Chain A
Amino acid sequence: MPAAQVPPERDPFRLDRFRPAIHRVETPGYDQRTGEIRDDWTRRLEQSQFLTIKYGLIDAEGALDRISHLGADWDSYGAEAPAADAIQASKKILEELAGDLILPSTIAPSAEGGISIYFMTGQRTVYVESYNQGTQALVMYGQDGNADVLEIGREIPLGEVGARILAFLG
């Protein structure tokens, strides 16, 4: 007796539905594949200005959030804890500079009370320091070790900080 024909729409094992969607299922080792995915994502981030800035800002705000939880004497030399105003001012600077496609190299609490946002290339370093008492300074270190300090808002407008950083870092 011939086997009963199952109508295709009632056949729960209609494997033909999947053809040719999956071309290759065998993969290299898990570690190798993980590395490939990471490298691909890095390339995709580097190619995109928007994603570089978007994810860079997420990282930077994460760093600020961690710093905001520091208490007094965080350096064991009696430093003040970063104040909420300094955190807010730093966030504003980061957003302003992101508009100029500039991301920080690192963010650190300042021993003088506040937060420092660093930008570095080669032998040159610039940082924006947001002090607990409310002022902000742009500090530019040359190869000779001398620093040029400008108070933001008084000696340099906030909107010009990005261009100044780029010009200094070359």
Chain B
Amino acid sequence: MATPTWMSWLEHRHYDKAPIKEAIIDIQIESSPLAMANIETPVPGYTERHKVMKGQLRGQVEGDTLTATASQDQMGYAFVGGEGKNVVQLKMNGFTFSRLAPYQTWEQLRDEAKMLWESYRARLGTLSVVRVGLRYINQLDLPAPVRDLRDFVRLYPEVSADLSQQLAGFFLQVQIPQEDLASMLILNEAMVPPPGPDLVSVILDIDVFKQGIKLESDDEVWGILESLRVRKNLVFESCITNRMRELIS
């Protein structure tokens, strides 16, 4: 997707009230005979440790007896740092770094992730990266009542004019190949409960990733992330209207 000329100035635009709730850098590796012990030691500055489980644990209470019913497989560990706003998941099959709101800058996100990635890599030795992804989860808080979503976003479910236009909820996913980057864009958009009574909230979840690769050099990994970041900005700008820009500026 080439950057439309009229939009190029928006690519590096900064919003004072950026709606980013979470920014994620995800790097998956070729499975290796890795021992859990390699990844259980805390990373400096990330002292609080959680287990990362596959599958949700659900308890059940019957009479006075409480039992956990779902089986879980441990995938790795999550470490929390940055005053509870940074979370790094070190897993058997890869690495995920999350920055929760308030989002700072791309440079801070990237540099922190790089430092953590180097720590992960040092524990594993040689590894091959098979997927690199960048995901930004935005929550757009719109002033209620919203008469037309199109006033704020340019990606929306089009409901037949023969039906009521009142939406109590929606979930929309589009998958758009990014042929020039040999990557994929997955956009999820959904209504979620708002933080206040006078708001309507819409999640705009932008996931750009490259998979089907086999990289051993870190420079290549971070080079891909830089290009995905430019694309992510372009996608965000393509999905919002000027009225939305006013709300977050």
Chain A residues with a Cβ under 8 A of chain B: 23, 44, 46-51, 54, 58, 75, 99-101, 105-106, 108, 111, 116, 118, 120-121, 125, 163, 166
CA–CA, A125 and B26, complex, Å: 32
B135 partner, pick from A48, A75, A99, A108, beta carbons under 8 A: A48
Interface size on B, residues (CB 8 A): 35
Chain B residues with a Cβ under 8 A of chain A: 21-22, 24, 26, 48-52, 54, 57-61, 63-64, 66, 68, 80, 84, 87, 96, 98, 100-101, 135, 137, 177, 188, 192-193, 203, 205, 207
Query: In the complex, what residues of B have CB within 8 A of residue A116's CB?
Result: 61
Query: In the complex, what residues of B have CB within 8 A of residue A58's CB?
Result: 192-193
Within the complex, the shortest CB–CB distance from A22 to chain B, in Å, comes to 11
Query: In the complex, what residues of A have CB within 8 A of residue B24's CB?
Result: 47-48
Question: Are A118 and B59 in touch, CB under 8 angstroms?
Answer: yes
Question: Are B68 and A120 in touch, CB under 8 angstroms?
Answer: yes
CA–CA, A106 and B56, complex, Å: 11
With both beta carbons as reference points, the residue of chain A lying nearest to B22 in the complex is identified as A50
Q: Point out which of A50, A58, A120, A121 has the most chain B C-beta atoms below 10 A from its C-beta.
A: A50
Q: A101-B50, A101-B84, A106-B58 are in contact. List 5 more A-B contacts (CB 8 A).
A: A50-B98, A118-B59, A120-B57, A121-B51, A166-B49
Question: Are B84 and A47 in touch, CB under 8 angstroms?
Answer: no
Given contacts A106-B61, A125-B66, contact A49 B87 (CB under 8 A): yes
Q: How many contacting A-B pairs (Cβ < 8 A)?
A: 67
CA–CA, A48 and B68, complex, Å: 24
Question: Are A50 and B64 in touch, CB under 8 angstroms?
Answer: no
Given contacts A50-B21, A106-B60, contact A166 B26 (CB under 8 A): no
Given contacts A125-B66, A166-B48, contact A47 B96 (CB under 8 A): yes
Query: In the complex, what residues of B have CB within 8 A of residue A108's CB?
Result: 61, 66
CA–CA, A116 and B61, complex, Å: 10
Query: In the complex, what residues of B have CB within 8 A of residue A105's CB?
Result: 57-59, 68
Those 6 A-B pairs whose CB atoms lie nearest each other, nearest first: A106-B59, A50-B22, A108-B61, A105-B59, A50-B21, A49-B98
Question: Are B59 and A49 in touch, CB under 8 angstroms?
Answer: no
